[in-house]
A and B are shown apart, each in its own frame.
Chain A
Amino acid sequence: MEGLLNALTGLSLLLIVMVLVSVRRSHIRVEYSVSWLGAALTLLVLSRSRYVMHWLAELLGITPPPLAVLTLVGCLFLLVLFRLSVIISALKDTNIALAQRVAILEFHLKALDEKGKAQA
């Protein structure tokens, strides 16, 4: 199980670096990086702190303890993904409304343009 914990630590560090680099390069907005950083830091703490890991395993009734870490972190990432789905849905709705509005405005502009040409 030590190997699994090391892999989880590596994954959390990789995720933290990726998020920080992405924020620095403006590939991800700060408000969306918070949930990923929170999940990655939780994974890091749980995979390195024996005391917290055993306490958590006892609380959840899952053995061996690293499996409890994996379960909790899995749930945490699921929540992050769900939050992103909510954000994407809202963005898609806004995008559709904007595209429709642009099309309608363009339609009116063309009609005005044609009317102006006809009058001239």
Chain B
Amino acid sequence: MSASAPGSLLIIVPAFNEEAALGTVVREIRETAPGVPVLVINDCSRDGTVRVARAAGAQVLSLPHHLGLGGAVQAGYKLAFEMGYDYVIRLDGDGQHDPHSIPAVFDALRASGCQMVIGSRFVGDDNPPSSFLRRLGIRFFRLVLRPILGKAVRDPTSGFVGVNREALQVFSQSFPLEYPEIEALVVLQRKAFEFLEVPCRMRRRMAGRSSITALKSLYYIVHVLLGVFVNLLKYEGRRPRRRRHRAELGEAGGAPAAPSTQEDTWKAS
């Protein structure tokens, strides 16, 4: 696994006890994006997650103890940043995110110049309906985030996310630990970064149950709401100017990357 080509892409899949669905997810990713490395971040699973991931052809980054979703995703971002990847796309390991939407996210990431692209279940129209509580929560956070972000976000809780090297640098240093999706948007806003939503197909999870039960929903809302405002209050000195930030990353990180052979191969297919 190396990132020698400019515009190199890494796909990361955080996983905790996902042996039932993970194999299919990794195989689907490899069919959709042949030649693109897939990294499963094993958050100290107690089942056969590592075995299944390796058998399906993914590389595995195994955490020594359970860190939670944010800690696992950040570990993947750190590795990707250190290895020089220009783009990272994150999918869930339970099969909810259809890997066939990866090209849409990747294309938008490269063409738009935005630091983050969100695969949104609400931009397209062929997605299975979410639960009532989830829809309610999403509506609530849309209202909360609208004035903070300065633009509407339709699916702030989506974990189907692509980031470029600028966002990678920020997230490898600072990333929310629990329920990171919404707070990550605020972290980006604080850096004056841009995001974009593209339609993505979501499916019902192939196995397992959501960690956010009805009872935990209230905790989720309070926790995320607090996290959003804490991130807003954080003092980070002067707001960084985009030009200075890009200079820190070097030319490869900031400039739109030329298509590599690796990408051409799987895009054409």
Minimum C-beta distance from B171 to chain A (A): 12
B63: chain A residues at CB < 8 Å are: 99-100, 103
The answer, yes or no, to whether B264 is at the interface (CB within 8 Å) is no
A102 x B64 contact (CB < 8 A): yes
Q: Is the interface of A mostly helix, strand, loop or mixed?
A: helix
- Contact-residue size bin, chain A (C-beta under 8 Å from the other chain): under 10
Q: A96-B71, A96-B177, A111-B1 are in contact. Are A104 and B65 (CB under 8 A)?
A: no
Minimum C-beta distance from B172 to chain A (A): 9
Interchain CA distance A99-B72 in the complex, whole Å: 10
Q: Is the interface of B mostly helix, strand, loop or mixed?
A: mixed
A111: chain B residues at CB < 8 Å are: 1
Interchain CA distance A102-B59 in the complex, whole Å: 16
Minimum C-beta distance from B15 to chain A (A): 13
B67 x A96 contact (CB < 8 A): yes
Interface residues of B in 58-97 (CB under 8 A from A): 59-65, 67, 71, 74-75, 78-79, 82
A103: chain B residues at CB < 8 Å are: 61-64, 75
A100 x B82 contact (CB < 8 A): no
Interchain CA distance A96-B77 in the complex, whole Å: 14
Minimum C-beta distance from A26 to chain B (A): 23
Closest 4 CB pairs of A and B: A100-B75, A103-B63, A107-B61, A96-B71
Could you give 29 example pairs across A and B, Cβ below 8 Å? A96-B71, A96-B74, A96-B177, A99-B63, A99-B65, A99-B67, A99-B71, A99-B75, A100-B63, A100-B67, A100-B71, A100-B74, A100-B75, A102-B64, A103-B61, A103-B62, A103-B64, A103-B75, A104-B61, A104-B75, A104-B78, A104-B79, A104-B82, A106-B62, A107-B59, A107-B60, A107-B61, A107-B62, A107-B79
